[in-house]
Chains A and B, each alone.
Chain A
Amino acid sequence: MTFRSLLLAALAAVPCLTAQTADVSFRNDVIPILTRAGCNAGSCHGAASGKNGFALSLFGYDPDADFRALTRELRGRRVDPAQPEQSLMLVKATTGAVHQGGTRLDPNGPFYATLRAWIAGGSPDDGKKAPALAAIEIVPGDSVLIGAEADVVQQVRARYADGTERDVTALALWSSSNEGAATVTAEGRVAAKTPGETCVLARFGGLAAAAQVLVLADDAPLAWPESAQARNFVDEVVHLKLRAARVAPADVCSDAVFVRRVHLDLLGLLPTPDETRAFLADGDADKRGALMDALLTRPEFAATQAMAWAEVMQVDAATMEGKGASLLGQWLRDVFAQHRPLDAAVRELLTAEGSTFSAAPANFHLVAAEPHLLAEKVAQNLLGVRMQCAQCHNHPFEKWSMDDYYGFAAFFGQLGRKRGDDPYEWVIWDRRNGDVRNKRNGEVAAPRLLGGGVVKVPPGTDRRAVLAQWLTAADNPFFAANVVNRLWARLFGRGIVDPVDDVRVSNPPSHPRLLDQLAKLFVDSGFDVRPVVATICKSRTYQLARHTGSPPAALFAGNQVRRLSAEQLLDAIGAVTGVPTKYQGVALGDPVTGLDGSGANVRFLEVFGRPARTSACTCDRREEPTLGQTLHLINGDTIAQKVGDKNGRMRQGLGAKQVPDAMLDELFLRAYSRLPTTTERERLLAAVAASQDKVAAWHDVYWAVLNSKEFTFQH
């Protein structure tokens, strides 16, 4: 393998870690060894209360505390400079004494020698003298492995603040996100398994670096279909990766499939028979683009976008009372209906003050009572970053430290919150004083931007305004990317970063350039989602049919079939049967997008996974099929009542003596956006004709259509 030879040569040039190291650094040698050996893992001494009386900080995030634990506690028995081999930390790790954690160090290995040398040298703490770790990098990094036997040796290079570099491959912790595709050894050797893609992660010194590894079955040349021409930059980036992965994209979907898909995706609704007929009959070559442009101007598009953000914002009566939820839901609908730039809207949201019964955005501040919990929500909802781990220890898979966590929380540390005149009402305001303390050291946390360092907020200035300005700036690395990623995920069923609210080094975007370009488009468009959605939907990639093979979903080589969301499905059943569902606070016949809150009282929505809006996590929405859903469709009262309703489409059609052919056409056009095939028509009409009870027969036809996968799935 060419990679192997290259890397072996590279490795030879890097000085190895040996016991002969003159000055062993506590910070840069000892702690990494303890990390690599697993001593400070969460399951061992890195647990919050340690193990067997010995506690280390998780993955060494607090070297000061670790130094005290090793050299001061237990009357200094853990290190013995006179007899280094008798130091408890070496005796235990080599099972010279009973050690529940087993053997962690080889007495003849380099790690043991380094630790011994450190102890023999008097166990010094190099403290601030030790050059701080600035960055780590995997080389060669992103790789393509061809064939099941292929492998590549990755190396981790650490760069320190003083400019020095070092090979820390042996000290890094390695992992593969998809071991089905490729595995990685403790030495950094990545071995192919089956075709697919994985992210190889290396962690060292509180930092993480990742490399994407693509595993191909063989090196056979790819027959790229001639029709698969890029229509815009979306296709260009996706095609580039498809070519690298030796995967040809699927064909473009039919007009019937497209018209249904785009209506569901952009409006949350099925197209009406008239809309479908008109679209299918349209001979214009650019009719798809024209349709999308038209759909983007419809109020249902704004309402669908607002509902998605209401879900992200956890708009619900349980959190912000019925009135607050209603006001914030309406505010979000207005934002999208009035084409307000999202950056301005987010700034208004983050700096809202006043009564939650009159200042709608102020309700957002009710999603969490504590500043640090609110900061977590903001990070996850608006930036796609999960900060929760860093509340108690530095993030194990990311660069976020406890200082970052509490510094970010400090932006909300001066938020005032009190009950209003009505006990259901809250008043939110900027107190202009108050602090958040860092749990690590008990010190006041200065406001710190994620990746942006500490900021000086002048007294009398709302800290949230400073945060909002940074967050919505054109060059913010997270916000715009998070917005477009969420848009992409709603159109494709998975994000470019997936899950969309878990941006981290170990979960890199499948198409980083695409994410950047979409984010730039969003910013350049004045933070308007419409141009982004239009660009995505006009791409060939969005319009693909289902792939005949089974390429990894992250390649976007074909359309991913997915069940209609709870909301889409219930409105679709209402549209097909002509008996819409009445939602609280929404006019009869209007879609579920007007419903503010989780809709906990609508059993169908709950069964089909509409989130309870109790968590910022996208996982709150349950998309997996359940037995309850199947039973509800088969035997539940939703379909039975709507189909059998005397004012419903079926009974009305029969009452008006509608021709069976026409009834069937309308049913298929509404449910599938296509006409029945000859076979379908013959068999279904024959069954109807053979039945004495026409209502029962048509009820069965409706039931069968509404229970079919073609109806319940988005394709």
Chain B
Amino acid sequence: MIVAACALAAGLAAPPIGGTLYSPRVEQVAPAGGQRGIEVVVAFVGQRLAEPQELMFTDAGIAVIGLRADKPERCEATLRILPDCPLGPHALRVRTAFGISNLVWFQVGALAELDEKRAGDAAMSIALEHTINASLRGEEIDRYALELQAGARVHCEVTAMRLGFSPVDLALAVVGPDGRSLARVDDTALGQKDPWVTFTADESGTYLVAVEAGFPDAANSGPYRLHVGTFPRPTGALPAGGQPGETIEFDLLGDGAATRARVTLPTDGTQIFRYYPENDSGLAPSPILLRVGGPPNVTPVVDGKGRAMVEFPASLHGVIAEPDQAVRYFFSAKKGQVLEFRALARSLRSPLDPALIAREAGGRFIAYNDDGGGGSADSLLTFTAPADGEFSIEVRDLLRRGSPAHFFRLEGSERSAPMNLRMVVGRLEQPVIAVPQGGRGACVLQTTNADVDAGLELLAQSLPAGVTASFGPILRGSNLVPLVLHAAADTPCVGAHLGFAARAAKAPHERDPGYLQVLPLVTVRNDQPILVTAQRRLPIAVTKAAPFTVEIEPLTAPLIRGAPMSVRVRVQREAGFAENIRVRALWTPPGVNAGQVVIPGTSGEIVLPIEATATAMLGTFPLAIVAACARGGGNLELASGFTEVHVEEPWVTATVGKARGKQGTSLELRVQLARKHALEVPYRAVLLNLPRGVTATETEVAADAEGAVFALTLATDAAPERHRNFVVELRVPAGEGIALHRFGGGEIRIDPSEAPAAVAPGTTARGVR
């Protein structure tokens, strides 16, 4: 009764055994952010949040100095946001004694923060250089009164959808002291669904800033942060990126005159870096985006014909400044050379919708791409040089628009395919692993572009003390790798972010397998993401011991191609734990299939059937199962340890013959046997799946026999037709077990008897009612 005891210790009603506290979930963070350098009390509202133990932040900068829960639907943390805390969203998960929650964001800003306070519909008075944490409800309009002096240039920006909770679509309107509408902004390229506006006060007085739904819909409301100040508001940079660790200088686009800035790009695998522009007026409340990676930045050389010549690989930057403008780069290529061009614009929040056109130097069209960049309006064009010569790659806006803000980054290089790793998760699952004390947690990893020939194996990094990791092999023919984590019974409840390394048998230095989990934060329309974040380390937690453990009984015989096998699964239940437990294989080798079974609440074991196809991969593989029970929305999932399964060729093959006889008679079915493996003891042979009305004897076969004969008896009402679905099963002793062999391909033909049998009323001629 460990689960109940823990819950009671926390002062809560005892959770029903079976795991209603598993799978914690956070649905709201209030306030959604805070100013760096201060302490703030933040509520996490959701489900199954009892016994919170840690806020698992991905990045440094926020210290948790208090964490408590007064009910399962809510826990509260006191956060100390360090003065040098990086700005922007900080990803975190709530770890409880029972699991790890979904990922949510907590925003860190530079401006002083206020909570929304208003009387009825009245406007809330605010001052410049503030962030207001507020929430829009229903069809209300939140108004803020701002006293401004004539000439003040003010930026207002809303963070709502970008909080990462819902696809809320808000608009921002500004009304002058004379009641005249100065601006109404809805979607923006930089903020996606979040608006921002810049205005200059023509006269001194009270200006009203209104936050309202971008369009009326009952669901279009929710929390937001309104930033008001004189901070800079650039929308992009040129160049818009560089390589990891590179210090780049760039011009900021937008917000008046260009300003130069300088930054060193991170080396932690980040591909999109958030840079917060800063000047004497302050820091922008949301970042511009810089690409980290790709080929080095290059400045084209203008040749005598005025052409911008480039040698790829290179990253180029430009602006489609005018409508109908195209920017064209020329390059040389050899026949058959393949180059991949990637236009980055919308993914860097440029308003440009880039289209790429490859041409011969003379202008003749070769290839075109729009939107091939994967999930955004960005484009990816694969170019194969049709001949030796000069070519060009052209960037234009699909709608033929242009402005100084329409910037792009064009990356051109030969194709490369680095290794990549991710955890396989279902639509409603989180890429996290909970490992109960004294138990196991597991997942399946998916590899892409793994160098199978190098004999790669995966390693786990940053494992907590007491936790061990076991990986399955990286196989040719399967891109899935099972991982089982085990926690010793005395391991404390801790959390960790697991890293991965890959080691090749031939060259045993470790390399980065490129673990990257893209997590949808905000989705619309059947889970299509519109805001995502990347997870580069896998969160795991040691949780309180589960009310049951599960093991596979070691397999005593090989799994023969074309035959089934029974895997006995045993569970050890805590007293009183009587939930049904679903059992499935964590992973199976290529060509091996497993079913799903349920262990009834009254039972402690079950047989999980697996079978190998006739072409299943041969060898020895680790087999593990997952046992799960779900109740009340929570899900408790445990794994067994690995057990080896040997997939082998048949030791003996059988060629099944044909037999023919009339209803009501007896006949023989002959089977030819050929040994592929030296057998030492006799074995039994049986016929399975015989048609109704046909019975057969079970036969003992000598170890060196080259054939077997089955005596068949045909009933008078046996179905008179050809039967081909039966199989011969050979039960060959193998150590302490039996290696099942199965063969089909035979035929039993049943002819009608001379005198047709009398057909009983209500019965068809075939005897089938």
Residues of A whose CB lies within 8 Å of any CB of B are: 322-323, 326-327, 353-355, 357-358, 416, 418, 420-424, 427, 429, 584-587, 596
Contact = CB atoms under 8 A, between A and B. Distances in A.
B353 interface: yes
Nearest to A588: B139
B498 to A, nearest CB: 33
Which 8 residue pairs spanning A and B have beta carbons closest together?
A: A585-B216, A326-B215, A323-B215, A423-B528, A423-B525, A429-B399, A322-B217, A584-B216
Interface string B335-346: 000000000001
Nearest to B399: A429
B524 interface: yes
A421 B530 contact: yes
B371 interface: yes
B187 A354 contact: no
Contacts, number: 55
A358 B218 CA distance: 21
B649 interface: no
Nearest to B526: A423
Nearest to B214: A323
B51 interface: no
B398 interface: yes
30 contacts: A322-B215, A322-B220, A323-B169, A326-B216, A353-B399, A354-B399, A357-B187, A358-B187, A416-B398, A418-B370, A418-B371, A421-B376, A421-B377, A421-B530, A422-B167, A422-B524, A422-B530, A423-B524, A423-B525, A424-B524, A424-B525, A427-B399, A429-B398, A429-B399, A584-B139, A584-B217, A584-B218, A585-B139, A585-B217, A586-B216
A355 B398 CA distance: 12
A420 B215 contact: no
A558 B530 CA distance: 59
Given A422-B524, A422-B530, 12 more contacts: A322-B217, A322-B220, A323-B215, A326-B215, A354-B399, A355-B187, A421-B192, A422-B192, A424-B525, A584-B217, A587-B139, A596-B216
A541 B399 CA distance: 50
A585 B215 contact: yes
B561 interface: no
Contacts of A416: 398
Contacts of B399: 353-354, 427, 429
A421 B346 contact: yes
A423 B217 contact: no
Contacts of A424: 524-525
B530 A420 contact: no
B369 to A, nearest CB: 13
Nearest to A359: B399
Nearest to B216: A585
B193 interface: yes
B54 interface: no
Nearest to B218: A584
Interface in B401-424: none
B215 A327 contact: yes
A585 B212 CA distance: 11
A424 B353 CA distance: 17
B213 to A, nearest CB: 8
B397 to A, nearest CB: 10
B186 interface: yes
Contacts of A421: 192, 346, 376-377, 530
B197 to A, nearest CB: 14
B126 to A, nearest CB: 24
Interface of B: 139, 167, 169, 186-187, 192-193, 214-218, 220, 346, 353, 370-371, 376-377, 398-399, 524-525, 528, 530
B272 to A, nearest CB: 15
A427 B346 CA distance: 14
Nearest to B192: A421
A694 B399 CA distance: 67
B186 A423 contact: no
A427 B353 contact: yes
A327 B167 CA distance: 18
A424 B193 CA distance: 12
Contacts of B192: 421-422
- Max chain A C-beta neighbours (<10 A), residue from B216, B217, B377, B525: B216
Contacts of A418: 370-371
Contacts of A326: 215-216
A423 B530 contact: yes
A613 B528 CA distance: 27
B320 to A, nearest CB: 15
B53 to A, nearest CB: 37
Nearest to A325: B215
- Max chain A C-beta neighbours (<10 A), residue from B187, B377, B528: B187
B377 A358 contact: no
B676 to A, nearest CB: 56
Contacts of A323: 169, 214-215, 217
B451 to A, nearest CB: 36
B186 A358 contact: yes
A358 B214 CA distance: 11
A692 B682 CA distance: 104
Contacts of A429: 398-399
Contacts of B214: 323
Contacts of A427: 353, 377, 398-399
Contacts of A358: 186-187
Contacts of B217: 322-323, 584-585
- Max chain B C-beta neighbours (<10 A), residue from A323, A416, A420: A323
A665 to B, nearest CB: 34
Contacts of B220: 322
Nearest to A431: B398
A358 B187 CA distance: 7
Contacts of B346: 421
Contacts of A420: 377
A421 B214 CA distance: 16
Contacts of B187: 355, 357-358
Nearest to B193: A422
A149 B625 CA distance: 95
A326 B212 CA distance: 14
Contacts of A587: 139
A429 B377 CA distance: 14
Nearest to B217: A322
A655 B192 CA distance: 52
B148 to A, nearest CB: 28
A458 to B, nearest CB: 15
A190 to B, nearest CB: 56
B63 to A, nearest CB: 36
Nearest to A425: B187
Contacts of A355: 187
Contacts of A357: 186-187
A353 B323 CA distance: 13
B46 to A, nearest CB: 26
A416 B370 CA distance: 12
A416 B353 CA distance: 14
A251 to B, nearest CB: 46
B191 to A, nearest CB: 11
Contacts of B169: 323
A123 to B, nearest CB: 50
Contacts of A423: 524-525, 528, 530
- Max chain B C-beta neighbours (<10 A), residue from A327, A585, A596: A585
A429 B193 CA distance: 21
B525 to A, nearest CB: 4
Contacts of A422: 167, 192-193, 524, 530
Contacts of B398: 416, 427, 429
A327 B217 CA distance: 13
B365 to A, nearest CB: 11
A420 B346 CA distance: 11
Nearest to B353: A427
A584 B217 CA distance: 7
- Max chain B C-beta neighbours (<10 A), residue from A322, A327, A354, A422: A422
A409 to B, nearest CB: 23
Contacts of B167: 422
